[in-house]
Chains A and B, each alone.
Chain A
Amino acid sequence: GQNIDQPTEMTATEGAIVQINCTYQTSGFNGLFWYQQHAGEAPTFLSYNVLDGLEEKGRFSSFLSRSKGYSYLLLKELQMKDSASYLCAVWTGGGNKLTFGTGTQLKVEL
């Protein structure tokens, strides 16, 4: 089976940088996704990593190390609207199964 760990909660200041970590143990790895989810809304795609390294997309960057079973999401220039749950998800089984971690609730404060 899959085991995905993320911190439950994090708090950061507007304008700052925050790093949300995700560790996983799985077999048949096909990639790792990060999603943002506001309460009661659909998860919104942020990033996808399948190779080791850093993927940058505007204020958001995601890093993957397959050998360590580790990923992080980096959010820069934090805004109040970034307050949300951030979900790490691992794609396995030839892409047939996407398993989510329990999510990290990020609170951005003034």
Chain B
Amino acid sequence: DSGVTQTPKHLITATGQRVTLRCSPRSGDLSVYWYQQSLDQGLQFLIQYYNGEERAKGNILERFSAQQFPDLHSELNLSSLELGDSALYFCASSPRPGTASGNTIYFGEGSWLTVV
């Protein structure tokens, strides 16, 4: 158990709909990262937050948005869903960015999204 909690574990929804994926980082971790992994694809970096502020953005679609709340949990909002958005969405957390060796980024178990 990495200590990173993601909900829901599985979600099936229709095209055009909107869903929210939730992530609770490990206790004490300030950074949250979101990734998308489509079938047989690599991990695509979406966005990263540190202590409530957006710090880095990857290939995140305009239909997608995220935020990190004061209690440090984060939500990824996916709207106007398309079939191609079906993927495994991972959240990861780390204590603080860019510090010396010993830092580790831990991943949650992921949220399986199926768009039908």
Contacts and interface: CB of A to CB of B under 8 A. Distances in A.
A93 B56 contact: yes
A5 to B, nearest CB: 12
B45 A98 contact: yes
A110 interface: no
Interface string B91-116: 01010111111111111111000000
Contact of A45 (B35, B45, B106, B108): B106
Interface string B55-76: 1101000000000000000000
Nearest to A30: B98
A41 to B, nearest CB: 7
B101 A48 contact: yes
Interface string A78-109: 00000000010101011111111111000000
Q: How large is the interface on B (under 10, 10 to 19, 20 to 34, 35 or more residues)?
A: 20 to 34
A51 B98 contact: no
A50 interface: yes
Contact of B104 (A48, A51, A87, A94): A48
A98 B105 contact: yes
* Residue from A35, A43, A49, A51 whose CB has the most chain B CB atoms within 10 Å: A43
A58 interface: no
A31 B97 CA distance: 10
Contacts of B50: 96
Nearest to B41: A102
Interface residues of A, number: 28
B3 to A, nearest CB: 12
Interface of B: 2, 31, 33, 35, 41-43, 45, 48, 50, 55-56, 58, 88, 90, 92, 94, 96-110
17 contacts: A33-B105, A40-B88, A41-B109, A42-B90, A42-B107, A44-B107, A45-B105, A48-B101, A50-B100, A51-B101, A87-B42, A89-B43, A91-B97, A95-B97, A97-B58, A100-B35, A102-B41
